[in-house]
Amino acid sequence: MRQTSKKNNMEIGERFFSESLTFTYLDPFNNFRSKEMSLEIRKDPVTAVTTRILPYRLRSYESPSIDRYLRLSPADKCPFCPPQRDKMTPRFPKEIVPEGQFKRGDVTLFPNAFPHSNHNTVAVLGNCHYLGMDEIAPSLMADGMLVCRDYMARMASLDASLQYASINWNYMPPAGGGLLHPHLQTVLADKPTMFMERLLNSATQYGRETGRDLWEDYFEWEKAQEERYVSGTGVLKWLVAFAPRGMAGEIAFYFPRRWSILALTDEELRIFCEELKTVFGYLTSINLASFNLAVYGTIQEEKLFPVQGRIIPRFLIQPLETSDVNYFEKLHGEIICPFVPEDMARRLKAFWKRGQAAFLGGWEK
């Protein structure tokens, strides 16, 4: 068995592509002497993402002006804050939920007033208009995840065609968050989104070629590499993506052998949110204050596809608050990333073990 495992780990590794390139110019800041710059092109076979790693591009981040955001979007104008919430947010028909809303603790879930799917909801996390990334309690996040699961279970009981599900989070304006008030969104559909379909196709193709489980082999390969693997317990595994989809990197997580999003227990979701709090602490320590998050899963058990997700930190490039998304990503389908994944994994792993105090000096410490 050990030899078989090594062989399959090697097969996984052979599928990851990287190529180093150099670029030479005459440097105006050094008497126009010749200067050589290097970059790396990576392609991840699991996600089909191509990323250009430019380690010289950016070394630190600046947090956005929260005061400015609060001036532009005050609590008394926010539809997710009480008392506006009861007057300004949609309700479900009584046949879905008699109360018109789903609730868990201080979290309220209702239909999205501006839907991008025929089953699209918003879950408002508590009554506080603004919570910093490091201020969001794991218990509040867990209630958010649980109420999303409650809604999905109810809808699945009404419509058997709904097979593909996600829980999503645009936190703060740099990540596309239209409102400061923290909130999740769910999407339920009979077809997967494009990225989820890529993941499903990768797992299916790998299983057809090898007769093995892609995710188990991938976990073991990343762990053996000791470059991007961050943490692993019986509940969750965390790693940094080989080819990130964001300029500030990408963090992936997986629930081993949880083949349906409805199979996640209350305790597993609470553990997830406690570990998510650790990730948020790390991002805060290097002045990142915004992110996109998605949890992907199926409703009926899909043995090739464990519940999993991705976190992509987001930021605005100062001083002009330039977007971190540019033509390479939008028009060419490739990402430029100045954040070397192995460096991110090393720092996140150290933070995970020692706590936030180890990173109080910021990026360079």
pLDDT confidence of residue 357: 44
DSSP 8-state secondary structure symbol assigned to residue 83: T
Question: What confidence score (pLDDT) does residue 57 get?
Answer: 60
Q: Specify the pLDDT at position 2.
A: 27
What count of other Cβ atoms lies within 10 Å of the Cβ of residue 125? 23
pTM score: 0.91
CA dihedral 129, 135, 137, 140 (to 10 degrees): 20
51 - beta bridge partners? 42, 335
269: helix, coil or strand?
Answer: helix
Cis peptide leading into residue 319 (ω within 30°): yes
- pLDDT on residue 320: 76
Look at residues 222, 346, 225, 328 and name the one whose alpha carbon lies nearest to residue 286: 346
- Just give the CATH number of 66-322+342-359: 3.30.428.10
* Residue 191: per-residue pLDDT: 95
Q: Give pLDDT, residue 168.
A: 98
Residues of the chain with pLDDT under 50: 1-6, 356-365
* Six-digit token string for 362: 């910021």
Residues 6+ apart with CB under 8 A from 245: 47, 49, 51, 310, 312, 335
pLDDT digits (tens, 9 = 90+) for 20-33: 999 999 999 999 99
Residue 150 confidence (pLDDT): 97
Looking at residue 268, its pLDDT comes to 96
Residue 33 CA to its chain's centroid (Å): 42
Contact 147, 139 (CB under 8 A): no
Domain ranges for the chain, please list them.
66-322+342-359
Residues in the chain: 365
Check residue 11 and give its pLDDT.
73
Rounded to a whole number of angstroms, the distance between the first and last alpha carbons of the chain is 42
345: left (phi over 0), alpha (psi -120 to 50) or beta: alpha
> What pLDDT was estimated at residue 316?
86
